[in-house]
């Protein structure tokens, strides 16, 4: 989340897996899997497009995301 929140595109931009991965110690594929989990939880949305039909992630409610998940 830090890579996305620290981005100049925050909060209204789009991010691709490789853009997130280059700011972290996590590879593109692992970023994709983690982002899919955030998508399922409603924190981000995605579209597919561009070269290679890449995922493009958009903030839905990442400002509500906490490091350890939701606190009830």
pLDDT value at residue 65: 83
Q: Tell me the whole-structure pTM to 2 decimals.
A: 0.70
Nearest to 1 by CA among 23, 18, 29: 23
Query: Would you say residue 70 has pLDDT above 80?
Result: no
CA dihedral defined by 15, 19, 21, 22, rounded to 10 degrees? -150
| CATH of 2-60 given 3.40.640.10, 1.10.3720.10, 3.40.50.11540, 1.10.10.10 | 1.10.10.10
Domain boundaries, the chain: 2-60
Q: What average pLDDT score do residues 1-30 get?
A: 88
């Amino acid at each position: 989340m830090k890579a996305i929140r620290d981005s100049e595109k925050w909060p209204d931009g789009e991010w691709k897996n490789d853009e997130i991965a280059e700011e972290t110690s996590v590879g593109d594929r692992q970023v994709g899997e983690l982002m899919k989990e955030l998508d399922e939880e409603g924190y981000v949305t995605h579209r597919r497009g561009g070269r290679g039909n890449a995922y493009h992630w958009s903030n839905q409610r990442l400002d509500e995301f906490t490091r350890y998940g939701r606190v009830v």
